[in-house]
Structure 1
Amino acid sequence: MRPSERVEEAGLGLADIPSDRYRMRIPTDRYTSREIQENERDLIWMRVWQVVGRVDELPEVGDWKEYRLFDQSYMIVRGKDREIRGFVNACRHRGNPLCAGRGNSKRGFLCQYHLWSYDLDGKLKGILREKALDPVDKDENSLLPVRVECFAGFVFLNPDPDATPLTEFLGDEIPKLLAPYRLDEMVTVLDVREGLDCNWKVVVDAFSEGYHISGIHPELLKVIDIDPSKSRHLFLGDHSVSVAPFEVANVSVFGPEDQVEGIRELPGTFPTVTTVLPRFEELVDVHRDENGKLGFPEGVTARTLLQQATRDTLTGMGLDVGALTDAQMSDNHGWVLFPNFFMTIRAGEATVILATPDPEGDPGKCVWHISSYMWLPPEHREAFRAEPTEVEEPGSFPYFLALQQDYEQMPRQQRGLRNKRLEHMTLVKEEIVIAHYHSVVDRYLAGAEDKV
């Protein structure tokens, strides 16, 4: 079995998962308690690998960015040897922060308080009026290093100096399953950060299930069929990946023209489908008679034509999709990498949602970071690359429809979770990924995990 077939062929269906495998009642104080959030800080966030950006955010020597986690601040920088490193964002003299936001410092870092300086490797290299002072051991007073590693084009950071390697945290299967997508070659086409009035786990939960589509995204029901019995799930240690095969709504009832019209409506919710529509229309026209009437032979549907159009379009652009299945041309795989990384990915594109706790520690707030990536020919990447957007005025950024609906729903849920008599949420089988995710949260909060 090829890695690209693993989820489709070996993933568990809902009927294969015992009802008692995970607890289906999640306590609501997990979303509202400051004490629990403080425990999460110590037992989860300060111990696990977490995505802090993309490798291509730091293309040049000296490029750096700040990463804030609660009241902690880290700096990630590309050194003269092209390696990306992480450091605690504090001068070793009196603790003054060295940087804020992002920028470039080819010559290293200069503390603005007392003018101590450090090179891009974090080594202390200059001290104001050094000759007039008592000797200072520069090796012992270099910047404090932080574990940083890269995978699939993402930069991961772990605050724990004793952390095991990222490869152990991810496990053996995840790199194999993601490799055929060439995620490291994709370019960022959307990059938005905004504060939300909800707990960070509300965001993770919201994107870990499709059970809400009928209520929050009803327009999707006009174009896609929701059949939970066909979903497949792989639980990979602390992480998971799921797929719900995409099919045009009412394909068994509606004729070919209705199926095709369903595909044409997809860009309203999945904008990147626009790229493959010209080839899709060419493939559709092959099946029209001299009067223009459309008829599909056995084995051909709008789904199969969309898959072929996607494969043809991406291949024509220069992307080798030979290791991806036909289903991966149309079906989004939903990834949850603990603790806060959600990604949908299919051939040629991916969307990532990161939710981090409120920097001030308010359990009713978080920061969400949504980014989208596309595979494009190298000569077109810079033209489509998106600059980071920090949304200062809530509600001012124009998300596409489905994302806007989730954006409005999550704070509503947080308001409901504050009700004192609501002691727990009750999950259903379609929300099994949420149940698995919270079983991992349980283990970390119980202290049963070694540092990872």
Structure 2
Amino acid sequence: MNVQTGKMQPGEARHPDISTQDIIARDRKKAPEWVASESYEYLGSEDIDTTRYTSAQYMQEEFQRLWTRTWQFACREEHIPEVGDYYVYDIGPYSFIVTRVGEDEIRAYFNACLHRGTKLRASGTEGAASEFKCSFHGWSWNIDGTNKSMLCPWDFPHADPQEYSLPEAQVQTLGGFVWINMDPDAPSLEDYLGPQALAHIKAWKLEDRYIACHVTKPIPSNWKLNIEAFMEAYHVPDTHPQVSPTNADVNSQYDTYGDHVNRFISTLGVVSPEHAGKYSEQDVLDMFTVGDSSIVTDKPQVPEGQTARQMMADMFRTMFEKAANTDLSAMSDSEILDCFSYTIFPNTFLFPGISLPMVYRFRPNPKNHRESLYEVLFLRPRPKDGSYVETAEPVHLTAEQSFCDAEGMDPGFGGILDQDTDNLFLQQEGVEASAKPGLTLGDYQEIRIRHFEKAVDKYMAMEPKIPNWKALQRK
């Protein structure tokens, strides 16, 4: 605040209601450092140019400048548990065979035959292989990427098999995820994330979870509009009026970490500042424990002097422990209840909480800049007794289907996702129809969008990075 004028400086304003950290500090089971911290930076108030959402040419340049340089979540380690297991990851025009070549070694090969370019494995497939053989002319590669055979090698004296290994992307693992980067000169994943975000991710121990539900759906909007729809809780009062009364929506916390990671924390089990004085503690608890989609079977009452938030934390801890056969006694109340959303640039959201244990992934449609693929994966804790749990197969919805149609999707949450994505068709058409050439963002509540677009600008200012197959071969 300016001492002389008494006016707030840009980015200083916050909702006058109780803060996210004050809410969390009142919990009985105290939060760890990664929860009880803040990291906001004012990044300006200028409009965001809408050309980035409406130009097909802009998206094509993203494929050469942005996607070829950034770390992306390709699959989970549980997708490829055994040597020879593989998973195909596509991003725009690029495709990769992510395969386990040793107990502790994973590689990602550009998914194309070095003869005449045929894909070695179809998009969206996974399985086990002893070789990767082209269906067209039979050229094949060992799972370590070395050339195994060429049909009629006598006709290719100019193609030395030792120089025809499959080109590779960089691969690293973290939190049970397999991450790839097409740029051989890119920084390590650790440097890309930065020390603060890296410490957070390691603290979550997401490697101890498994995919319990995986849903994909094409969305009629540019991939950046799609991802940005989930970067703030400012939309909750009007887009999700049924849940707004029971979370701190417009008083959520927003943080940025380096160039590539940001987050929000939205506390649950409290009355939204937009509904102050309208609901009692019992009303808040009832909204979570009454109704067909409730996960609570009885109808508890809030005793005098108690809070709905604390009762929910206690109940949810017990229910989730029983449902997952796991021990959550070390988890704070905030980790049990609250919505934590971390964006890892460019296209991954990690939600490490227990009540909303999710991953979002967003991918552009290379044939249509007005369409993108949205994926939701629920990660549940593995059973404490080590018993086997099945990795869920993806459920592929059509653009017309509701998220509620997906097997394994909670209908209440599916309805929330429908509300989110129903806005996107109107937003895509709106930014194209608007006489105003930019988006106006809030300094605080929409800082994640500005932080994200600042990273987009950083990569789009670079020269195109075209994958060079010779430079990408293992020496």
* TM-score normalised per structure 2: 0.80
Q: Given that residues 351 and 370 in structure 1 are in contact (C-alpha distance below 8 angstroms), is that contact kept between their aligned partners in structure 2?
A: yes
Q: Given that residues 349 and 375 in structure 1 are in contact (C-alpha distance below 8 angstroms), is that contact kept between their aligned partners in structure 2?
A: no
Give the structure 1 partner of residue 375 of structure 2.
369
Mark the CA change 1:366 to 1:253 in structure 2 (over 3 Å): closer, same or farther. Answer: closer
Indicate the percent of aligned positions where both proteins have the same amino acid: 26
1:446 is aligned, of 442, 455, 461, to 461
| 2:199 equivalent to 1:176 | yes
CA drift at 1:87: 0.6
Mark the CA change 1:372 to 1:381 in structure 2 (over 3 Å): closer, same or farther. Answer: farther
CA drift at 1:17: 5.4
Could you tell me how far apart the structure 1 residues matched to 2:260 and 2:330 are?
26
Give the structure 1 partner of residue 52 of structure 2.
30
Q: Given that residues 382 and 389 in structure 2 are in contact (C-alpha distance below 8 angstroms), is that contact kept between their aligned partners in structure 1?
A: no
Give the structure 2 partner of residue 263 of structure 1.
288
In structure 2, the residue corresponding to 1:374 is in which secondary structure?
strand
Mark the CA change 1:310 to 1:256 in structure 2 (over 3 Å): closer, same or farther. Answer: same
1:296 is aligned, of 292, 303, 325, to 303
- Return the letter of the residue paired with 1:395: Q
Mark the CA change 1:105 to 1:181 in structure 2 (over 3 Å): closer, same or farther. Answer: closer
Q: Given that residues 74 and 86 in structure 1 are in contact (C-alpha distance below 8 angstroms), is that contact kept between their aligned partners in structure 2?
A: yes
- Return the letter of the residue paired with 2:377: S
Q: Given that residues 91 and 111 in structure 1 are in contact (C-alpha distance below 8 angstroms), is that contact kept between their aligned partners in structure 2?
A: yes
CA drift at 1:257: 3.5
1:188 is aligned, of 203, 211, 228, to 211
- Return the letter of the residue paired with 2:433: N
Q: Given that residues 88 and 126 in structure 2 are in contact (C-alpha distance below 8 angstroms), is that contact kept between their aligned partners in structure 1?
A: no
| 2:145 equivalent to 1:138 | no
In structure 1, the gaps of 5 or more residues are 285-293
In structure 2, the gaps of 5 or more residues are 1-24, 407-413, 467-475
Give the structure 1 partner of residue 358 of structure 2.
351
Q: Given that residues 256 and 448 in structure 2 are in contact (C-alpha distance below 8 angstroms), is that contact kept between their aligned partners in structure 1?
A: no
Q: Given that residues 343 and 353 in structure 1 are in contact (C-alpha distance below 8 angstroms), is that contact kept between their aligned partners in structure 2?
A: yes
Equivalent residues in 2 for 1:225-264, closer than 5 Å: 225-226=247-248, 228-229=250-251, 231-249=253-271, 254-264=279-289
Could you tell me how far apart the structure 1 residues matched to 2:232 and 2:441 are?
11
- Return the letter of the residue paired with 2:452: Y
In structure 2, the residue corresponding to 1:237 is in which secondary structure?
coil
In structure 2, the residue corresponding to 1:364 is in which secondary structure?
strand
Give the structure 1 partner of residue 425 of structure 2.
411
CA drift at 1:309: 2.7
1:45 is aligned, of 62, 67, 88, to 67
Could you tell me how far apart the structure 2 residues matched to 1:57 and 1:330 are?
28
* TM-score normalised per structure 1: 0.84
TM-superposition CA deviations, 1:166-216 (whole Å, max 9, x none): 111112222321333321121212212222210000111100011111121
CA drift at 1:134: 3.6
Q: Given that residues 91 and 364 in structure 2 are in contact (C-alpha distance below 8 angstroms), is that contact kept between their aligned partners in structure 1?
A: yes
Q: Given that residues 348 and 374 in structure 1 are in contact (C-alpha distance below 8 angstroms), is that contact kept between their aligned partners in structure 2?
A: no
Q: Given that residues 195 and 365 in structure 1 are in contact (C-alpha distance below 8 angstroms), is that contact kept between their aligned partners in structure 2?
A: yes
RMSD: 3.2
Structure whose residues are more often helix by fraction? 1
In structure 2, the residue corresponding to 1:363 is in which secondary structure?
strand
Could you tell me how far apart the structure 1 residues matched to 2:121 and 2:72 are?
21
Mark the CA change 1:339 to 1:260 in structure 2 (over 3 Å): closer, same or farther. Answer: same
Could you tell me how far apart the structure 1 residues matched to 2:258 and 2:315 are?
32
Larger mean CA deviation between 59-68 and 28-37 belongs to: 59-68
Q: Given that residues 72 and 347 in structure 2 are in contact (C-alpha distance below 8 angstroms), is that contact kept between their aligned partners in structure 1?
A: yes
Q: Given that residues 311 and 329 in structure 1 are in contact (C-alpha distance below 8 angstroms), is that contact kept between their aligned partners in structure 2?
A: yes
